[in-house]
């Protein structure tokens, strides 16, 4: 990647973050100028948003642990909540892509990212020391604690996705249904 392409991608990502934070609808802002030129697909863009989220979360966790070294779990939950308040649209996009992934690849990527985040949260909170099912469960609890303090506008509450859910019928079954109608 050239220096110019690197900067263009960074500027586009900044515009996507701004659009997501302004919209706060959880919909990935693919219409932002430069997205199609700088990102290969939705997974690439969501991955870049996740990196932005995790970088900010890591910094907030470090600061929170310095301020509150005695109650690590509360400090990490507060850092997660602070990050969600700083990047509200990004968090909603991540939540929506996790709840309603548009492709199996997106579903796998979001599930891996979610589990890794839970392990990081549990480790930072002193609840786990390695990647394990117990660490995942502990990290889930930390995130749940963090979400308890979030305002309702930052909570993903839309029971239906904005786009049609992926059909479980095969392509042939759909063609048969159309022909039968």
DSSP three-state, residue 68: coil
Residue 177 resides in a domain:
no
- Give the residue among 136, 126, 121 at the shortest CA–CA distance from 84: 121
Question: What's the CATH number where 64 sits?
Answer: 1.10.357
Q: What is the mean pLDDT of residues 60-74?
A: 95
Instruction: Please give the tally of structural domains in the chain.
Output: 1
Is residue 163 pLDDT above 60, yes or no? no
Q: Tell me how far the alpha carbon of residue 45 is from its chain's centroid.
A: 11
Report yes or no on 169 lying in a domain.
no
Q: Predicted confidence band at 142 (pLDDT cuts at 50, 70, 90)?
A: very high
Top-confidence residue, 168 or 154:
154
Kindly indicate the confidence band of residue 167, based on its pLDDT and cuts at 50, 70 and 90: very low
In a domain, 181, yes or no: no
Q: What is the mean pLDDT of residues 41-70?
A: 96
Give per-residue pLDDT as tens, 109-124. Answer: 999 999 999 999 999 9
Percentage, residues of the chain above pLDDT 90: 72
If one counts every other C-beta atom within 10 angstroms of the C-beta of residue 108, the result is: 12
> What pTM did the predictor assign?
0.80
Q: What is the DSSP string of 134-151?
A: HHHHHHHHHHHHHHHTS-
- On whether residue 8 sits in a domain, the answer given is yes
21 is in which domain, residue-wise? 3-162
156 contacts 135 by C-beta, under 8 angstroms: no
Distance CA(146)–CA(129), nearest Å, equals: 20
* 89 has pLDDT over 60: yes
Task: Note whether residue 170 is domain-resident.
Answer: no
Residue 62 has pLDDT above 80, yes or no: yes
Residue range 26-45: mean pLDDT, rounded:
94
What does the pLDDT read at residue 174? 54
Average pLDDT over every residue of 26-38: 94
The reply to whether 61 falls in a domain is: yes
Q: Is 3's pLDDT higher than 80?
A: no
91 assigned to some structural domain: yes
* In-domain check, residue 174: no
At 178 the pLDDT is 57
């Amino acid at each position: 990647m050239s220096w110019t392409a690197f900067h263009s991608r960074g500027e586009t990502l900044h515009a996507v973050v701004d659009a997501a934070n302004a919209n706060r609808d959880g919909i990935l802002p693919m219409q932002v100028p430069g997205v199609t030129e700088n990102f290969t697909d939705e997974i690439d863009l969501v991955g870049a948003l996740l990196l932005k989220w995790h970088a900010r979360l890591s910094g907030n966790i470090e600061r929170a642990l310095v301020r509150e070294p005695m109650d690590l779990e509360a400090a990490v939950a507060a850092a997660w909540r602070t990050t969600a308040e700083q990047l509200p649209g990004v968090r909603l996009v991540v939540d929506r892509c996790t709840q309603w992934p548009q492709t199996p690849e997106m579903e796998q990527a979001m599930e891996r990212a979610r589990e890794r985040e839970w392990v990081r949260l549990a480790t930072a909170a002193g609840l786990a020391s390695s990647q394990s099912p117990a660490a995942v469960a502990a990290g889930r609890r930390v995130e749940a604690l963090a979400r308890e303090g979030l305002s309702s506008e930052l909570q993903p509450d839309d029971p239906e996705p904005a786009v049609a859910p992926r059909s479980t019928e095969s392509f042939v079954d759909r063609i048969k249904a159309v022909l039968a109608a």
